[in-house]
Amino acid sequence: MSEIIPIDQEQHPLSRIFFGPFGLRAGWSLLIALILFLALMWGFSSALRITHLVPAHTVEHTPGPLSVFLSEATAFLAIAIVTVIMSRVEHRPLAVYGLGGSRKASRMLYGVVTGLIAISLLVFILLNSGLLIIDQRLLFGSEVARYLLLWIPGFLAIGLFEEYLFRGYLQYTLARGLSGVAPLLPGDPDPRTVGFWIAAVVVSFGFGAVHGSNPGESPAGLICAGAASLVFCFSLWRTGSLWWAIGLHAAWDYGQSVLFGVSDSGALFDHRLLQTHPVGAPLLSGGATGPEGSIFCLIPLLLLVAVIHLSQRRPEESYALQMPALSHQLETTAETLPPASTPTS
């Protein structure tokens, strides 16, 4: 990321409410981005409903491959447009918000493979513990290949949207704002590290809370969703990009919903390969939440942390190195700001 030139501090005092030494303050940036995102989402969702491309979701009707793809793709388009606008407003390269970096395709493919292995391991544990039972196959013949392929775009769109929404502009801007906490902590910590990980905890809490609106979600499921979000943040920190997390997120959800036919945070999809049901205490089996509601979900999540640590170390592309302004901001603010008693024009 290129250096951000401090703005002129000799300005009207009211301007400092909106602008800091490095441009528009993070809180105002997030507020503007939120308003833009909600407006775009309202417009896109209204267009999809009016054209009947996405039917209303009811108990009797669950979304199919096309409606899932359209809903998630337009949602991703909305956050992508907002990110482009805000990057230009703030004069920051678009790549710093997570979709930059090298080896995009290979990183995402690696994430897909890792995600399929991780969810398969979790389902294997539940099956062999007697906590999950496979009832029957639901797809046969040509329908197997047809729906396994038809569902892929929708789940890729889910991975793109959710990762870019939570760990794109939101994560970066929160980290930028929260880097100011560093001087309050002992040991002179790096503001980039402090800002990133406080923001990661806030974002992960929000990621888990959003899942609370899903039918059948449980407290254990919300905790596991938040823990998974922290794993995604760790991959972002190590690689400087979201591509590995996008692939893993998409494959994890695809494996649950399509291949194994289990609930995904309480939601079941039609045209899945298998029909299953949980057995035993929900804390162990996941209950109506699905495998993400089981405490055994923590096993693959911990293994994923180890995988990231061992295989995704790219210091030249780490997230910290994309945020040089945060490390310099606290060092230069005292020099660029005039003393409190100095009158300004």
- What distance in Å separates the CA atoms of residue 136 and residue 120, rounded to the nearest whole number? 18
What integer pLDDT is reported at residue 52 of this predicted model? 77
Identify whether 22 is part of a domain: no
Gyration radius of the chain's alpha carbons: 22
Condensed to tens digits (0 to 9), the pLDDT of residues 15-48 reads 777 777 667 788 899 999 999 999 999 999 989 8
The packing angle between helices 65-90 and 142-167, to 10°, is: 20
| pLDDT at 290 exceeding the cut of 70 | yes
- What's the token pair of residue 136? 């029957």
Each residue of 61-118: pLDDT tens digit?
577 899 899 999 999 999 999 999 999 999 889 989 999 877 889 999 999 999 999 9
Proportion of the chain above pLDDT 90, given as a percent = 58
Can you tell me the distance from the alpha carbon of 242 to that of 98, in angstroms, rounded to the nearest whole number? 5
162 lies in some domain: yes
At residue 183, the pLDDT reads: 85
pLDDT category of residue 339 using cuts at 50, 70 and 90: very low
Residue 174 pLDDT greater than 70, yes or no: yes
C-alpha to C-alpha distance for 200 and 223, rounded to whole angstroms:
14
Give the mean model confidence (pLDDT) for residues 128-139: 95
Q: Does any domain span residue 203?
A: yes
In DSSP terms, 19 is beta-bridged to 24
Whole-angstrom distance, CA of residue 218 vs CA of residue 229: 17
**In the chain, pLDDT over 70 holds for what percent of residues?**
84
Is pLDDT at 122 greater than 80 in this prediction?
yes
* Mean of pLDDT values over 286-301: 94
Angle at 283 (CA atoms; ends 254, 197), nearest 5 degrees? 65
Full domain range(s) for residue 326: 98-330
Average pLDDT in the chain: 85
Query: Domains in the chain: how many in total?
Result: 1
Q: Is residue 277 part of a domain?
A: yes
The amino acid that residue 168 corresponds to is G
CA 3 to chain centre: 26
Q: Is residue 298 situated within a structural domain? A: yes
Cα 287 → chain centroid: 25
Residue 75 to residue 50: CA distance in whole angstroms: 16
Angle between the 169-178 and 191-210 helix axes, to the nearest 10 degrees? 130
What is the secondary structure of 139-157 as a DSSP string? --THHHHHHHHHHHHHHHH
* Alpha-carbon gap, residue 79 to 72, rounded angstroms: 11
Tell me the per-residue pLDDT of 221-260, one tens digit each, with 9 for 90 and over: 899 999 999 999 999 999 889 999 999 999 999 999 999 9
Residue 25 lies in a domain: no
Asked whether residue 245 is domain-assigned, the answer is yes
pTM equals: 0.86
How many beta carbons lie within 10 A of that of residue 32, not counting itself?
Answer: 16
- DSSP letters of 158-188? HHHHHHHHHHTHHHHHHHHHHGGGGGGSTT-
Q: Is residue 342, in this structure, part of any structural domain at all?
A: no
